[in-house]
Amino acid sequence: MKIAIIKQPLLDNVGGVLQNWALQQVLIEMGHQPITIDYLYQTTCKKYFENLLKVSALRIMGRPFYVNPKFVRSRRNADFDSFVKNNIVKTPVVHSYSPSLLKKYDIDAVIVGSDQVWRPRYNYETLPEMFLSFVKSSSIVRVGYAVSFGSNQWEYSEEQSYYQKSKAGQKFRKRAGIEPVIGHLKSDHRMMRNYLKGTLGDAINTLMAAAAYNLRHWMDKNASFLFVSWWLMVVKRLESAIFGNENKSACLCANLATLA
């Protein structure tokens, strides 16, 4: 499967570059053909002043703003450029996302992430594209990989909030369902830190945590049935204890009367 990776520009973010490289290595080991779309900002003086005016207007109106009035560097430094060219499979530099780009490379799936790809301050030029608005074909698989908003402050405007929430809910509801499970595994089932040695220990710890989580989930789901079964068992034992002793006493009295 040919997979396109969409993320923040590969400029000078060490973590972002390494995460992209690691994701490609995993996909290659799984037998896929990943390629990162090498998007870089295209900054002009006109765009700079447009962004500056937009920020000023939004500030006066007291509304959230997500544009950055500063010039954004559109070139990698020498060290980063050398690593990216030698270790990351990528397209030539592009300045926009489009359906024709996916068609050109015969893409079967698109992965967006990781990093703070949904944060408006960091993606003021390509925020809709980070929600895969340019993917028009229904046959292309859409995947969100460790995507995040990257801030505890809500940076979206009201119009953006409604649109982005609906799109995120439609496209990445599976990831939203996985996140709470990961949290429970870490806090309740000892996945926060592994004390077992080696890769085998990692596998054992993961399997035991998953088994404990599934068992707890099954017990919660069948709690009423288990409680009723336990209560019936207690009542039955009490009944046998009480009435069983009465029957034994009655039999003893009858035997004594016969002997007398």
Q: What digits encode the pLDDT tens for the residues 196-209?
A: 888 888 888 888 88
Is pLDDT at 21 greater than 50 in this prediction?
yes
d(C-alpha 35, C-alpha 24), whole Å = 8
Residues 6+ apart with CB under 8 A from 216: 188
Strands of the sheet containing 141-144, edge to edge, are 33-36, 2-6, 109-112, 141-144
Give the residue among 38, 32, 2 at the shortest CA–CA distance from 20: 38
Kindly indicate the confidence band of residue 74, based on its pLDDT and cuts at 50, 70 and 90.
Answer: low
Is pLDDT at 23 greater than 50 in this prediction?
yes
Q: For 202-235, what is each residue's pLDDT tens digit?
A: 888 888 888 888 888 888 887 777 777 777 787 7
Mean pLDDT of 50-69: 66
Give pLDDT, residue 243: 63
Token pair listed for 254: 């009858």
Compare 30 and 151 and report the one with higher pLDDT: 30
Give the residue among 233, 188, 195 at the shortest CA–CA distance from 215: 188
Is pLDDT at 69 greater than 50 in this prediction?
no
Is pLDDT at 4 greater than 90 in this prediction?
yes
The kind and range of the H/E element at 141 are strand 141-144
Compare 130 and 159 and report the one with higher pLDDT: 130
Is pLDDT at 70 greater than 50 in this prediction?
no
Give pLDDT, residue 10: 81
**26-30, 147-151, 174-178 — most confident range:** 26-30
Burial string for 72-88 (b: 16+ CB within 10 Å, else e) reads: beeebeeebeebbeeeb
Mean pLDDT of 167-185: 64
d(C-alpha 190, C-alpha 211), whole Å = 12
d(C-alpha 125, C-alpha 215), whole Å = 47
Residues 6+ apart with CB under 8 A from 221: none
Is pLDDT at 252 greater than 60 in this prediction?
no
d(C-alpha 230, C-alpha 94), whole Å = 66
Predicted TM-score (pTM) above 0.85: no
Mean pLDDT of 96-105: 90
d(C-alpha 49, C-alpha 87), whole Å = 37
d(C-alpha 156, C-alpha 63), whole Å = 9
Is pLDDT at 65 greater than 70 in this prediction?
no
**DSSP SS3 for 5:** strand
Quick count: other Cβ atoms within 10 Å of Cβ 126? 19
